[in-house]
């Protein structure tokens, strides 16, 4: 393949975005960075990164992957950040890491879809189809820009956002200490399979978290019984995953 898109996705929005871009570009390999692991080598001519924003910045796994991996310095680099609103330092951080490797981020864009941060928002099911349709329209413009090898300067981010992200992301791994599993759990194993950090096991018939959480919330959103919850904040809230994506695509 002469084009590669690396993606990180929990509820499927970023995966579907990566697939849509790859289909439009043609001859493109779509790679889960959580499965690729660290110290990856990529010599493609076009390289993309598609992922969601977490706490005004990059998911930890995305940061670690790009930081540790090697890429063709002469490639055309692009990044698309799926989000419910602001994307904070995401594009700046990708650009800075690529500059450390002798290249730079040629094109970056946010793609507003919806916020699935169930800790703080209620997802309105009656609005999902409309929001996804708007996202498709926005993505069509982004895809055309990528096809045209558009370049634009990546703007710097406010220092306060970086400090906020660094503080928040430092506590991601221990987020699962506040997860609970209700009696409705059938131990189906979906949470184990869908977790990109391999942070969940079923031990002695009990769902067990290993305190290496990515805070992606995949386990909460994909549990068919809504058995996994965070403190007292999610019990009565609607779960979400992209309707075009099956959980097996994320395992």
Domain residue spans in the chain?
Answer: 3-163, 172-250
What integer pLDDT is reported at residue 168 of this predicted model? 85
Its CATH architecture, for the domain 172-250, is 2-Layer Sandwich (3.30)
Matching fold, domains 3-163 and 172-250: no
Helix axes 125-147, 13-25, angle to 10 degrees: 30
Write down the number of H helices and E strands in the chain.
Answer: 8, 11
pLDDT at 125: 83
pLDDT in tens, 229-240: 999 999 999 999
For the chain, the average pLDDT equals 95
Using 50 as the pLDDT threshold, list the residues of the chain that sit under it: none
Nearest to 22 by CA among 63, 78, 60: 78
Calculate the CA 251 to chain-centre distance.
14
Q: What is the pLDDT of residue 1?
A: 62
So what's the pLDDT on residue 157? 63
Dist CA 236 CA 242 (whole Å):
20
CATH superfamily of 3-163: Flavodoxin domain (3.40.50.360)
Of the candidates 64, 66, 85, 60, the residue with the CA atom closest to the CA atom of residue 175: 60
User: 218: alpha, beta or left, given left = phi > 0 and alpha = psi -120 to 50?
Assistant: alpha
Find the farthest-apart pair of alpha carbons in the chain and give their distance in angstroms, rounded.
54
pTM, entire model: 0.96
């Amino acid at each position: 393949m002469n084009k590669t898109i690396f993606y990180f996705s929990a509820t499927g929005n970023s995966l579907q975005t990566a697939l849509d871009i790859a289909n439009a570009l043609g001859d493109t390999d779509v790679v889960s960075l959580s499965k690729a692991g660290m110290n990856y080598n990529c010599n493609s001519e076009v390289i993309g990164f598609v992922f969601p924003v977490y706490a005004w910045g990059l998911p930890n796994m995305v940061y670690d992957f790009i930081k540790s991996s090697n890429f063709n310095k002469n490639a055309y680099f692009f990044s698309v950040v799926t989000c419910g609103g602001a994307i904070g330092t995401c594009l700046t951080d990708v650009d800075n890491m690529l500059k450390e490797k002798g290249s730079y981020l040629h094109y970056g864009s946010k793609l507003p879809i919806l916020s699935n941060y169930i800790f703080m928002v209620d997802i309105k099911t009656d609005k999902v189809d409309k929001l996804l349709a708007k996202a498709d329209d926005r993505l069509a413009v982004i895809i055309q820009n990528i096809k045209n090898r558009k370049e634009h300067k990546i703007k710097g981010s406010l220092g306060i956002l970086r400090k906020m992200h660094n503080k928040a992301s430092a506590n991601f791994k221990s987020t699962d200490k506040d997860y609970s599993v209700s009696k409705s759990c059938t131990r189906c194993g979906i949470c184990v399979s869908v977790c990109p950090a391999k942070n969940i096991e079923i031990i002695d018939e009990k769902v067990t978290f290993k305190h290496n959480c990515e805070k992606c919330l995949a386990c909460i959103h994909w549990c068919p019984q809504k058995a996994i919850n965070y403190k007292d904040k999610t019990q009565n809230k609607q779960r979400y995953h992209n309707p075009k994506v099956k959980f097996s695509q994320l395992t």
